[in-house]
Chain A
Amino acid sequence: MTIAANASEQESWFHRNQQRIAPWLFLAPGLLFFMVYVIIPVFQSFNLSLYEWDGLGAAEYVGFRNYEDLYWEWVDRDAFYISLKNNLIWLILYLAAIPAGLFIALFLNQTVWGIRLYKSLFFFPFVISQVVVGLVFTWFYDPTFGLLNEFLGFFGMGPLNVLGDERFVTYGIIFAGLWPQTAYCMILYLTGLNAVDPEQIEAGRLDGAKGGRMLWHIILPQLRPATFIAFVVTIIGALRSFDLISIMTQGGPFGSSRVLAYYMFEVALSEYGFRMGYGAAIAVILFLIMLCFIAYFLWSMYREEKGH
């Protein structure tokens, strides 16, 4: 009897507090997964970066030695310096995907027969794995038979060994990366253009605006949400760049196409690697760079939330 009473009391307690408890019940599984696999590992990496560990034996606490080593690599213009420099180049040049995507979107933003199919086909590169993109472009740049050199040869130039020349290699890989990334930005802008207010355009036309002025003053402001998302995904893509480098050059020639993400993998898990702590230290640096952007993204989102 008392048990039953208790039960009903409990049920009613649950009932009364349902709205406070329910969100946590809904959140629990997702939050648990996310904590275990994402949030906690971030802190573990911070911790690990203070150790020296080969992944086999016991870890040895070394304080900030790993960071000190990184500092000296920076001073000596060694691998870490090159990786960081390349990351910067990636960050800047990868942004070219945004105007390029906008350009293609404007080009395709017409209603002619078959345009839908064209749009899909232009989007194609984004759906393909970066591994395949990397292979495709490795052959494109191949110094003996690559399409690029056939093309240059046609104009009496070349041959150019893009992936074998430390001056060009990073740019070559970025160019390959821009292919799918531009497709991504293009689709964002195409959708954005669909929602552009035709009345404003008409008003602009009446004011005599056209071409570049129209784009800058009337269209682009309306595309701001698309631009923001394009910016976010492009920055993230640039800082995560790993697949292409791994497939196309393995960081070579002589380490000149490394970026932090690849260097970290190389140091920690590759054939000659297994300096886990050192790898973690590199990852921490990469994370801190990303953190600037994450903070900016969150701040923008926060403002928007407030605005609602």
Chain B
Amino acid sequence: MHSMFKRTAAALAASVALAAPVAAELTGELRIFLDTSNPAPRATMEAMIERFAAEHPGLEIETTVIDREAYKTQIRNFLTADTPDVATWYAANRMKPYVEAGLFEDVSDLWAEPEIADNLASTKGAMTIDGKQWGVPYTYYQWGVYYRKDIFDELGLSEPTTWEEELANCQKIVDSGRACYTIGTKFLWTAGGWFDYLNMRTNGYDFHNQLANGEISWEDDRVKQTFANWKQLIDMGAFIDNHQTYSWQEALPFMVNGEATAYLMGNFAVAPLREAGLTDDQLDFYQFVAINPDVELAEDAPTDTFHIPANASNKEAAREFLRFVVSADEQTEINNGANLGQLPVNAQSSVDDDKFLQQGFTMLSSNSPGGVAQFWDRDAPAEMAKVSMEGFQEFMVKPDNADRVLAKLERARQRIYDN
């Protein structure tokens, strides 16, 4: 009895010490800008901030949620004027302009702390530029093919693993009067996802990076091969019509109504699909098929991040907030199925039981030997991303324009990387 009390007391003391690593109580104002404007993620983030606020009653926290698309243009403004203390953004090349302009705070000190160094090692690379870390990740998610299992069953199809199986499956789906894939390319990036997968499966992960870095001509035969593979799908009617008019959300109903059987998308598509009435018996997931057997499988898994702007006024509180966000418990909580429904970045966190998250986690940790890319528009410089994705969209609508599109992208490459 006595010894047990002692042990409990010791454990209690230890946990108190862990929970409150900062001796001085945080005060002042903490302004947080979020781009999580969709209802579910928004609620998740707001709840998380409330828990943080409860631990730091002295802090006055002000949260601003900006529309996700608008945020991408506004970040340049608020990093230089009217600057918040914490802001969401994306990893890898997408944060480069701000790092180079000195607008993000170097947070290598946080990454030196054992709690973060030990548990976030897998994402450290994506947060590193010039050997320093410029923010922390808070979630990442797999991409892949979400499909209507019930329709596959009805047509007697099984999950494909090779390009031949993929094409055969798709032919049967088209013959049944459906489209194989729904997609909405109005905002372009969805076409970037398709390009990424076709290109990484045709030419590999390293090629993806070289292309994004402008080291390879767009008129290279390997790029043409990627487009030729893509054209096979387009020509057989694999994609829904009029995709250039829809946003990714507006393309969801085609899958829900069964007019299209699958969606190449990030895991965030699962929540609205379920909301629209698809059960887990109807909805399933498979990894994008191999195309060129000689290249290793590589995946897109975009990482969303938190940063401290260099002009922030309450950096001490901001650092504490970053620590809080990546802590094992918070990571488990905000990424669980009821919240973001994505993968936690902390190795000590547990992945939700959700079947899609489990599959995604397994896929990324054991079946992506080639590497993990961020996403086309996060790996390529912004300007190239814009021109190229516009080209992808044009190609998807008019596959016969391939050569013209590639010539245009090559011209753009020579101009953009030249500077």
Is there any pair of Cβ atoms, one from A and one from B, under 8 angstroms apart in the complex?
A: yes
Which residues of A are at the interface with B, using a C-beta cutoff of 8 A? Answer: 52, 54-57, 69, 72, 76, 78, 142-144, 161, 163-164, 166, 249-250, 252-255, 269-275
User: Which residue of A has the minimal Cβ distance to B75?
Assistant: A271
Return the contact of B244 from the options A76, A253, A269 (Cβ within 8 A). Answer: A253
Contacts of B411 in A (CB 8 A): 72, 76, 78
Chain B nearest CB from A255 CB (Å) reads 5
Once bound together, how far apart are the Cα atoms of A269 and B70, in whole Å?
Answer: 11
User: Which residue of B has the minimal Cβ distance to A60?
Assistant: B419
Once bound together, how far apart are the Cα atoms of A57 and B188, in whole Å?
Answer: 28
Q: Is the CB of A271 within 8 A of B73?
A: yes
B42 contacts the other chain (CB 8 A)? no
> Would you list 27 pairs from A and B whose C-beta atoms are within 8 A, ordered by A residue?
A55-B76, A56-B76, A56-B101, A57-B101, A69-B415, A76-B408, A76-B411, A78-B411, A161-B242, A161-B244, A249-B186, A252-B393, A253-B186, A253-B244, A254-B394, A254-B397, A270-B73, A271-B73, A271-B382, A271-B386, A272-B377, A272-B382, A272-B386, A273-B73, A273-B382, A273-B386, A274-B382
Chain B, interface residues (CB within 8 Å), range: 20 to 34
Contacts of B175 in A (CB 8 A): none
Take A142-B245, A253-B397 as given contacts and tell me if A271 and B101 are in contact as well, using a CB distance cutoff of 8 Å: no
Known contacts A271-B69, A272-B383; 8 further A-B pairs (Cβ under 8 A): A56-B76, A76-B408, A142-B245, A143-B245, A166-B397, A253-B186, A253-B244, A253-B393
User: Quick one: which of B72, B383, B415 has the most chain A CB within 10 A?
Assistant: B383
Q: Is the CB of A56 within 8 A of B187?
A: no
B390 contacts the other chain (CB 8 A)? yes
Chain B nearest CB from A176 CB (Å) reads 15
Once bound together, how far apart are the Cα atoms of A2 and B244, in whole Å?
Answer: 82
Contacts of A253 in B (CB 8 A): 185-186, 244-245, 393-394, 397
Take A78-B408, A252-B244 as given contacts and tell me if A271 and B72 are in contact as well, using a CB distance cutoff of 8 Å: yes
Once bound together, how far apart are the Cα atoms of A76 and B101, in whole Å?
Answer: 33
Q: Is the CB of B242 within 8 A of A164?
A: yes
Take A69-B415, A161-B245 as given contacts and tell me if A56 and B80 are in contact as well, using a CB distance cutoff of 8 Å: yes
B269 contacts the other chain (CB 8 A)? no
Take A271-B382, A273-B382, A274-B382 as given contacts and tell me if A164 and B244 are in contact as well, using a CB distance cutoff of 8 Å: yes
Chain B nearest CB from A60 CB (Å) reads 9
User: Quick one: which of B97, B244, B411 has the most chain A CB within 10 A?
Assistant: B244
Consensus secondary structure, chain A interface: loop
Q: Is the CB of A161 within 8 A of B241?
A: yes
Return the contact of B385 from the options A55, A252, A272 (Cβ within 8 A). Answer: A272
User: Quick one: which of A78, A144, A272, A275 has the most chain B CB within 10 A?
Assistant: A272
Take A69-B415, A143-B241, A253-B244 as given contacts and tell me if A269 and B97 are in contact as well, using a CB distance cutoff of 8 Å: no
B103 contacts the other chain (CB 8 A)? yes
User: Which residue of A has the minimal Cβ distance to B419?
Assistant: A52
Once bound together, how far apart are the Cα atoms of A166 and B386, in whole Å?
Answer: 18
B391-419: contact bitstring with A at CB < 8 Å (1 yes, 0 no)?
10110010000000000100100010001
User: A-B pairs with the 8 shortest C-beta distances?
Assistant: A272-B386, A254-B394, A56-B101, A253-B244, A164-B245, A271-B72, A272-B382, A143-B242
B98 contacts the other chain (CB 8 A)? yes
Chain B nearest CB from A247 CB (Å) reads 12
Chain A nearest CB from B257 CB (Å) reads 10
Chain B nearest CB from A9 CB (Å) reads 50
Chain B nearest CB from A70 CB (Å) reads 12
Once bound together, how far apart are the Cα atoms of A16 and B97, in whole Å?
Answer: 62
Once bound together, how far apart are the Cα atoms of A72 and B103, in whole Å?
Answer: 34
Chain A nearest CB from B390 CB (Å) reads 5
Contacts of B188 in A (CB 8 A): 252
